[in-house]
Structure 1
């Protein structure tokens, strides 16, 4: 309770850094999801999430010890980080569980209702204003989700609810990230969030196997440990590195920029994921998926456009953040001051 009560105050927005981080994170997650989809079946889902977490711990622990300063292994924000780990572990287990049943573009389109949920949660818990324009955009966006899911039609599958639940849990985790603000290092946040998922995933896998009858269609959810061969081991290692980098970048993005401003830039994932799924597996999304995707993206971009036009955005000074070790992302030390030419 002490850590929760002493949350760092919300910081001012630094939009350019946030946008750069969220775009980099989206690219990482495209690669991650391609690897997961390729490995599912040969390895159970629980193994993939566990290995990704283990590799992240092996990389982040020595890096945090070496850097020191604001990067720390123990943190007073641990209740927040463990809650984020729980939300992301359960959410993305559902997301990946839908892969064998649905095309990647369809799963991703439904999941990308997350920025719409983020907009609602930001208004409820962060005090971000929600006017008539944003409410209308949210209605359009969620209408796009329903079109993509196609409830009531023969093409509807109950597994389409899994990426929707993942979107809700993802949105909640990102709001928690924003509540921590600049009071935490992105490396520490990544360690606790991704590392925590490694400890949570096996009990979750056991519970699913104990409750759900595991027929042949759920082969990718079987609860067993399979020793990977050399090729699988290389892909698992790559999965860990790419996933860790993506989580760190996205966590950083929501630390330094207003949630409703940068959330629409998550949509960069969708065209790349759809193109990659077509190139590697010949998956062609249905017309309802394309229609829903267009409505969701349009609603999110309109919300972002309204945020960028807000006059108070340009008058808000940028905060001072911690060092972030990530290729292509500007590093700002916690003791430095931003000059006017460096503020966004």
Structure 2
């Protein structure tokens, strides 16, 4: 049997693409039920309870599966978890006052920031094909976001774009700072950080209560409430699904260059749209479908131009 070159073993682009596809399918399904969770509870209680559930699942699975949860470099794992946690807080928070398409388009500026940070902070070479792929993928996001969805790009996209920048930095940190960590270690750090954010948010809202709109409109402003059955069930589904999905995403960034893996994450948009159609009979417009086609094209370019 031929020996696999070290560069191919260290940077397995196709394996990373498969991991990201699994991540998109799982997260696309679970995130479609955030609307159900938001109707009964708040963002902070959701993150706190999901963090507890996720750590309980990891704790039970650690010994039989031989998982190592303790970090080798606590500072690196904590820094990476803080960056990704802040990105997700902004992302979920924006969903309270911006359409999902607007928030997603802002978040998916992350590959642009990955390229910029890779080039200017870490000195990585970025070829013209990867630059072209990112621009094609971002054009696809713009088409998904455009007039056919009833929204325009404006000042309100600043926060989602900030989430995209933090998300990109966290993805780079996964490879640059945490290459020696296991996927389960990074998962634990991610959920512990979001859980702590949730506890802090609930305490703050208990000390300084504010008027809370009914239903999903009060998602960000709602403090701790008596958990309902649907909230508990779908939060548990979120915890389990996120463990598997985010674990696959982390693994992808560990085995391939961040500037390549980032482009594959665009697939979460069509995956979410497909689940929205299957679950809620929501249909995308022809313009949005074209944008999703460009997103797939961008990922294909990266695969064909891999080393």
Q: Could you tell me the TM-score, scaled by structure 1's length?
A: 0.72
Q: Which residue of 2 aligns with 1:46?
A: 44
Change (3 A) 1:78 1:275: same
CA distance in 2, matches of 1:179, 1:207: 34
Question: What displacement does 1:106 show?
Answer: 4.8
CA distance in 2, matches of 1:103, 1:280: 18
**Paired residue for 1:192, among 186, 189, 192?**
189
**Paired residue for 1:24, among 15, 22, 47?**
22
Equivalent residue runs for 1:104-253 within 5 Å: 104-145=100-141, 155-156=151-152, 159-180=156-177, 182-204=179-201, 216=213, 218-253=217-252
Summarize deviations over 1:249-277 as a string: whole Å, max 9, x none. 11111111222333332222221211222
CA distance in 2, matches of 1:211, 1:227: 19
Greater mean alpha carbon deviation, residues 153-162 or residues 74-83? 153-162
Question: What displacement does 1:175 show?
Answer: 0.7
Summarize deviations over 1:251-307 as a string: whole Å, max 9, x none. 11111122233333222222121122234345445666556555555445434433x
CA distance in 1, matches of 2:130, 2:253: 19
Greater mean alpha carbon deviation, residues 128-137 or residues 241-250? 128-137
Greater mean alpha carbon deviation, residues 120-129 or residues 48-57? 120-129
CA distance in 1, matches of 2:288, 2:189: 35
Question: What displacement does 1:122 show?
Answer: 2.8
Summarize deviations over 1:290-340 as a string: whole Å, max 9, x none. 56555555445434433x2xxxx3xxxxxxxxxxxxxxxxxxxxxxxxxxx
Equivalent residue runs for 1:284-303 within 5 Å: 284-285=283-284, 289-290=288-289, 292-303=291-302
1:256 aligns with 2:239: no
1:96 aligns with 2:92: yes
Summarize deviations over 1:205-234 as a string: whole Å, max 9, x none. 666999997663851112411121233222
Contact 2:81/2:189, CA 8 A, preserved across alignment: yes
Summarize deviations over 1:61-82 as a string: whole Å, max 9, x none. 24334555xx434323222222
For residue 15 of structure 2, give the secondary structure of its aligned residue in structure 1: helix
Structure 2 alignment gaps of length 5 or more: 1-8
Instruction: Return the structure number with greater relative CO, CA threshold 8 A, min gap 6.
Output: 2
Greater mean alpha carbon deviation, residues 87-96 or residues 290-299? 290-299
Change (3 A) 1:208 1:290: farther
Greater mean alpha carbon deviation, residues 167-176 or residues 13-22? 13-22
RMSD: 3.4
Q: Which residue of 2 aligns with 1:78?
A: 74
Change (3 A) 1:193 1:282: same
Summarize deviations over 1:184-213 as a string: whole Å, max 9, x none. 111111111212210123325666999997
Question: What displacement does 1:93 show?
Answer: 2.1
CA distance in 2, matches of 1:297, 1:276: 17
CA distance in 2, matches of 1:18, 1:43: 35
For residue 50 of structure 1, give the secondary structure of its aligned residue in structure 2: helix
Greater mean alpha carbon deviation, residues 51-60 or residues 218-227? 218-227
Summarize deviations over 1:144-196 as a string: whole Å, max 9, x none. 55565559x98337554443222222111111111245411111111112122
Q: Could you tell me the TM-score, scaled by structure 2's length?
A: 0.79
1:271 aligns with 2:274: no
